Amino acid sequence: EIVMTQSPATLSVSPGERATLSCRASQSVSNYLAWYQQKPGQAPRLLIYGASTRATGIPARFSGSGSGTEFTLTISGLQSEDSAVYYCQQYNVWLTWTFGQGTKVEI
């Protein structure tokens, strides 16, 4: 089973700053990596797929990078509405999908 490890667990940042979230896979997942944002009481929202492609309607301040085992989600110009938990997810490797444990971003 592929294990996804996210760091840090919690990130406190000020409005307008940049947040950098990390996700590491226990083995290579190529670029089969997605990022989600989840706010309290809501379903997750797809932000990034293919490690770096923004999903429909996602602002340009969200960007993803990486391949293999190391991935990064960068949120530039943080806004209060970006307070949420962010999850990475590897998909379709050996027909399994795995989420990381999440990073809570506090603005």
Partner 1 sequence: QVQLVQSGAEVKKPGASVKVSCKASGYTFTAYYIHWVRQAPGQGLEWMGIIHPSGGSTSYAQKFQDRLIMTRDTSTSTVYMELSSLRSDDTALYFCARDTRFGGFDFWGQGTLVAVSS
List of residues contacting partner 1 (CB under 8 A): 1, 32, 34, 36, 38, 43-44, 46, 48-50, 53, 55-56, 85, 87, 89, 91-92, 95-102
Closer CB to partner 1, residue 48 or residue 107?
48
Rounded Cα gap, residues 79 and 83, in angstroms: 8
Closer CB to partner 1, residue 1 or residue 60?
1
Closer CB to partner 1, residue 60 or residue 95?
95
For 4, the token pair is: 């996804």
Could you tell me which residues come within 8 angstroms of residue 77 by beta carbon, excluding any fewer than 6 positions away? 16, 18, 61
